[in-house]
Structure 1
Amino acid sequence: MADSEVQVPNPRKADLERLRSDLAKEVESLRKALKGPTEEIGGDRVWVGKNARAWHRELEGRHKRLGERVDRLLPAVDAAIRGEPDKVSPSEARAYRNGT
């Protein structure tokens, strides 16, 4: 790329920033997705017995793993954003928009 070539805003970076914004709004609900069912099955009002305890352990594990994975989402997107230049050549921007 020649130094004199006009640069345009990087559309990939803009898409990643929109993704981050949308994701930030959803992170807390994703983190809590299995909390209610886990607590209900873990109590004695919904279901009791050996099978109920097994289901509760399974849900508790899934809830924990979901939370751990959700906690990694924003840092991963942030890293991708940092790896993108602010400006790119018009041909690079066009190629990204066209999916090539």
Structure 2
Amino acid sequence: MLVEAEYRADEVRQAYQRASSAMRSGQVWTGPTAATWTAELEDRHQRLGRLAQSVVDAVEEELRRSPPLVTEAEANAMRREMAGRT
């Protein structure tokens, strides 16, 4: 679960990188409106990265609250609970 969250967070952190790099290059769109749009894009890119990290942090916190090892019965009960089949 943590590995998946970290993988997805990395994808999210990279989501706007190509567009942001292209806009900063000055070869795609220039002028005051382009500068404003680029600043907003980069702000959203950074905010999205922070939000993605907060998801990873929440998963890590939840894992810290769970015992490192559980019995097979406990694992099955946890799976049923996560699947909504309590």
Output the TM-score relative to the length of structure 2: 0.72
Which one has a bigger Cα radius of gyration? 1
Which structure's residues are more often helix, by fraction?
2
Q: Give the 5 Å matches for 1:1-100.
A: 19-85=1-67, 86-87=69-70, 90=73, 93=77, 96=81, 97-100=83-86
- What one-letter code is carried by the residue in structure 2 that aligns with 1:78? E
- Asked whether the equivalents of residues 9 and 49 of structure 2 are also in contact (C-alpha less than 8 Å), the reply is no
Query: In the superposition, relative to structure 1, how do residues 52 and 87 fare at CA in structure 2: closer, same or farther (>3 Å)?
Result: same
Task: Write the distance in 2 (CA, Å) between the matches of 1:81 and 1:56.
Answer: 38
**Higher RCO by CA contacts (8 Å cutoff, separation 6 or greater):** 1
Q: What are structure 1's unaligned runs of at least 5 residues?
A: 1-18
Structural RMSD (CA): 2.6
Identity, % of aligned pairs?
A: 26
Matched residue count: 82
SS of alignment partner, residue 22 of structure 2: helix
- Asked whether the equivalents of residues 20 and 41 of structure 2 are also in contact (C-alpha less than 8 Å), the reply is yes
Output the TM-score relative to the length of structure 1: 0.64
